[in-house]
Structure 1
Amino acid sequence: MSKKKKNTAADANKNNTANKDSNSDGSYFARGRKKRKQYLKIIVPVVIGVVALATVLATLFPGDNVSARYGELGSAHEHAALLIILNGTDVDLAQQKYMVRSNYIHVESYNGTLDGTTLHKHASNVPLGEFLKSIRMDISNGCFITDSNQRFCENGEYKLTSYVNGNETKDIMNYVINDDDRILITYNNQNSTELDREFEKLNNLPINKI
């Protein structure tokens, strides 16, 4: 065999070896990419699930900052009747979405029935505002804001007023309930007859103690 033919055969062998190495490298990197994609398919849903769980737990179980502002859980156990009437319509809190949204102050079921009118307070110094905010409601700048962001604001005709045991209370959000309090939050045109009916309804509410 001539020297030229030997060189050609050697070059062919080198090319075959290089192609095998190239295919081997390509296959290795392809497997690596496939594994990374599989890991991402597992990891991303797990991360999303953890974040969602943390959000739910933060809502249901307030953190230490709440405990620092108020007393420890179990430092109080008091109950009060609560009635919210906006423009003549009772706000129905006897719904599952409002039950026990805060461990510190909440409404809860009584004898298997959803009870939206008895407040349960389980720590000292917890104001009524903590309850309203836990169910995504608020009172701010003369407006009652519902969890659907509907606003009932004071104007020349209608007024937002809060009463505790028949006495008007200016800062109901910071009011700390006492046992057997009866609380009325009302948005109306201050018609005395209508207000009397609302007080009568409030006074007839049971305070279900557990």
Structure 2
Amino acid sequence: MTQAIEEPWGISVFGSGTVRAEPSLARLRPAVDVLAASPEQAFQQAGEAVARLREVLRRHGVPDAAVSGSRLGLSSEYGGHGGDRTLLGYRCQASYAVETGALDGLERLVAEVVDAGAHRIDGVEFDVRDKESLLDEARRRAVAAARRKAQVYAEAADARLGPVLHIQDVESEPVAAFRAAAGGGPSGALAPGAVEVSARVVLGFSLRH
């Protein structure tokens, strides 16, 4: 069975490009989570934990502008089911996103944040500051890969590659992959891998014989 090309005009090829770079910053997501007998106690204990958390961040040189957080939220918490359902207390929660470029001291920062009152760490992500430059380079590599592929097809078909007629960005906003490795050893509990940025493109070329 053969497939006919209804409107032959040239050659269309796909190309992808990836750039890897060492991370230049980290985003830490600590959270305060307090359960107390009364709303007043829950708010007070959570507020004290947040104050200690802020002090640790300032001591590590993290400016207030690099910290974004949520308001303190309060909810009732119950245990049991049906007729055995009882009030356990009032839970007060607040989460934060902290950005820092001091990667060498990241493990110590995490430990001190937890000691200061953060009840959990919802995640640690690694990123780069000049992501646009990486995206531009990934796009160039994607175009180069597509052109190489088109050249091979053209030569195999005993044709010559003509000018580019069409460029289609397959992914309008390429996403960076943050490859962070977590280990249990004392010398690398938070070991960031390379930050990968990828781009994909479809190029259309004319053909000459």
The TM-score, its normalising length taken from structure 1, stands at 0.22
Q: Which structure carries more strand by proportion?
A: 2
Task: With a CA cutoff of 8 Å and minimum separation of 6, indicate the structure with the bigger relative contact order.
Answer: 2
- Pair member with larger Rg: 1
